[in-house]
Amino acid sequence: MMSRNKTEQPLQPLTVRLPSDVMTWLENEATRYGASQNSEVIRSLRARMDAAEPKKAAG
C-alpha cells in the first residue's frame, strides 16, 4: 500500500460542485464521524483508491 504521509505531497486546492443530495450526504457523514467535510471527501476518495489498487495490479 502507498504511504500517505501529509508531508510527502503538497496539498492542492480543488473546487467541486456537488448535487444537493451528495452535499447532504457529505454533511451527514462529516457529522457522523466528527470530521470536516474536506476530510470526509479525502476519506471517501482514499477508500475508492484502495479498492481500485488490486484491480490495477491484476490488470
Assigned domain for 1 exists: no
Assigned domain for 13 exists: no
pLDDT computed for residue 17 by the predictor: 97
What's the total number of domains in the chain?
Answer: 1
Q: Which domain holds residue 35?
A: 20-58
Cα–Cα distances (Å) from 47 to 13, 19, 20, 44, 52, in that order, read: 20, 21, 22, 5, 9
Q: Which of 5-9, 20-24, 53-57 has the highest mean pLDDT?
A: 20-24
Assigned domain for 40 exists: yes
Is the pTM for the entire model greater than 0.75? no
pLDDT digit string, tens, across residues 13-50: 999 999 999 999 999 999 999 999 999 999 999 999 99
Contact between residue 43 and residue 35 where contact means Cβ atoms under 8 Å apart = yes
